Amino acid sequence: MEALPIKALFLGASSIYKSLAQATLSVTTEMALLGFYDTFLFAFIIFFILLSFFGTVNGLPWDWPIFGMLPSLLLNIQRIHERCTEVLELTGGTFLLKGPWFANMDMLATVDPANVHYIMSSNFSNFPKGPQFLKIFDFLGDGIFNSDADLWRNQRKIARLLITHQRFYRFLVKTSQDKVEKGLIPILEQVSKLGLVVDLQDLFQRLTFDTTCILVTGYDPGCLSVEFPDVPFSKAMDDAEAAILVRHVLPESVWKLQKWIGFGQEKKLSKACAVLNHIISKHVAMKRDELSKGIKSKEDEEGVDLLTSYLNDEEEIMGDQLKCDDKFLRDTILNFMIAGRDTTSSALTWFLWLVSTHPDVEAKIREELGAIIPKKEARKGKLFNVEEVNKLVYLHGALCESLRLYPPVPFQHKEPHQPDILPSGHHVNQKMKILFSLYAMGRMKFIWGEDCLEFKPERWISEKGTIKHQPSYKFLSFNAGPRTCLGKEVAFTQMKVVAAAIIHNYNVQVVKGHPVDPNVSIILYMKHGLKVKVSKRCP
């Protein structure tokens, strides 16, 4: 994330304090010599010293005159997920963050399952994404993530029809297995043979970027290869997501001014959108040309990508409510790309880290994998197909447990359409955001028990040895209610095929001393990647 001038002051607070201590000795004699700029800077430094010493009340953010709790939010931006967890734990799961008086930034943060269920399900109609969400995520256009009401319902109906169709499922199975066999395994073989350090997070981003591109557009960008090529589309998505996070913590007037003058993160976002739009329009034009010439894929045998389905079945599936023009396709493709690439690669990264640092869990997964290999098959170099991995209970539980602790989308927000009272007793209105911290939710003792910080796949397995259902309003990784994620099974299919191939065939060891911390973005990645050494194992 590009550093802002004010952020540099926050991060350099310790050095500022030292300089200030020295300057204070002679401040009475030198104050008269200070110009306007120096006086302002002095006052600014004093403010942040006061913020550091008096910025909390019993561990909660201080409500400053004029600025509200925004200074505390900015001061903790680099550890926002942990800070949110601390505050919500102290307040029983719900906390009102007061914004500056000059900006509509009041925000009710909650992890209370009763509130989540009320907002996401029982009173769903009163809590749309809202106009503010659309402003912040404007680069997604009118896609399914941004839309509300009839526009959302129509898009969801079509997307569900295509994603659950057998021809897409066939395409998913083939694509997922091919990418593991022909893309992932050759790279792992090379790095293990040469004893190289590899960034698994980067590897998974490349893997899911390729598979998502193929599933959505039918084209393979070839990002996952031993050459590790630069991919402009993937870089543009990263830049856009970083800019969106900044919009969440700055007043709208500030980031809109930055957008108008072309400054900072807004400048990066503008450039990123230009790249995304250009590449998507190129793919759409190529697909239209391909279909107009009657070029057929092996649809009956291998299935078909989503873009082909949208264009081929336009009259049948679109109806009178939506038009399958270039803008609709651009927004749809971009929404699917973010859903497929970012969430799955994030989930795989945290999962492999957790498994590699919990040998008991790793051993149980390997035991479960070994049990489904027929005796006549060679155990060495075994790759598992979709039908095999879908039978694995412990692997599924381990993936759910990883998603509980490290949800790919760490927070989401809603806006009430009309004033309302939540089950927790908190009043909300149209000028207030409601924020769910999925990261904090997985760390609440009153939701998950005293052992909530432990990585325990067993909490997802019943006494009968089957998957134990957890209600979506306490396990929100795939959303809840009418907006429950349509790609849930797609994600699990991809994660299981990849995880089984790696855990069964390789030992993964995190490089000694490598820091593992969550980043600050709308997608929960590791700030420093996941540097590991991979070695082949002999089952």
Whether 11 and 137 map to the same domain: the answer is: no
Report yes or no: 183 and 207 within 8 Å, Cβ to Cβ: yes
Average pLDDT across each block of 10 residues of the chain; the chain has 539 residues. List them in order.
Answer: 35 38 39 43 48 58 79 79 92 91 85 97 92 89 89 91 91 93 95 95 94 93 88 87 84 90 92 94 92 64 86 78 88 90 93 97 96 75 89 96 96 92 95 93 96 97 93 94 91 95 96 93 92 87
- For residue 241, is it within any domain? yes
- For residue 17, is it within any domain? yes
Q: Which of these three, 54, 72, 96, is where a domain ends?
A: 54
Q: CB 531: neighbour CB atoms within 10 A? A: 19
Helix 488-505, helix 359-371: angle, nearest 10: 100
Whether 21 and 137 map to the same domain: the answer is: no
Whether 48 and 123 map to the same domain: the answer is: no
- For residue 108, is it within any domain? no
Helix 488-505, helix 326-356: angle, nearest 10: 40
Predicted confidence at residue 41, as pLDDT, reads: 47
Helix (H, G, I), strand (E, B) or coil at 376: coil
- For residue 401, is it within any domain? yes
- For residue 348, is it within any domain? yes
- For residue 102, is it within any domain? no
Predicted confidence at residue 17, as pLDDT, reads: 36
Domain interval for residue 22: 1-54
Q: Which pair of tokens denotes residue 235? A: 């870089």
Distance of CA 91 to CAs 111, 435, 479, Å?
A: 11, 15, 24
- For residue 79, is it within any domain? no
Please choose, from the candidates 486, 489, 346, the residue with its C-alpha nearest in 3D space to the C-alpha of residue 408. 346
Report yes or no: 333 and 399 within 8 Å, Cβ to Cβ: no
Whether 33 and 132 map to the same domain: the answer is: no
- State the pTM of this model: 0.84
Residue 101 CB burial class (10 angstroms; 0-12, 13-18, ≥19): exposed
Predicted confidence at residue 68, as pLDDT, reads: 81
Whether 125 and 39 map to the same domain: the answer is: no
Whether 371 and 294 map to the same domain: the answer is: yes
Helix (H, G, I), strand (E, B) or coil at 464: coil
Predicted confidence at residue 58, as pLDDT, reads: 65
Which contiguous run of DSSP H or E holds residue 106? none
Whether 394 and 526 map to the same domain: the answer is: yes
- For residue 13, is it within any domain? yes
Q: Which pair of tokens denotes residue 447? A: 């939701």
* Contacting residues for 370 by C-beta, under 8 A, at least 6 apart: 379, 504, 539
Query: What domain count does the chain have?
Result: 2
Q: Which of these three, 54, 79, 99, is where a domain ends?
A: 54
Predicted confidence at residue 321, as pLDDT, reads: 73
Predicted confidence at residue 64, as pLDDT, reads: 76
Report yes or no: 438 and 451 within 8 Å, Cβ to Cβ: no
CA 16 to chain centre: 34
Whether 180 and 269 map to the same domain: the answer is: yes
Whether 138 and 230 map to the same domain: the answer is: yes
- The CATH number given to whatever domain includes residue 135 is 1.10.630.10
Whether 42 and 168 map to the same domain: the answer is: no
Q: Which of these three, 39, 54, 69, is where a domain ends?
A: 54
Whether 50 and 124 map to the same domain: the answer is: no
Whether 187 and 272 map to the same domain: the answer is: yes
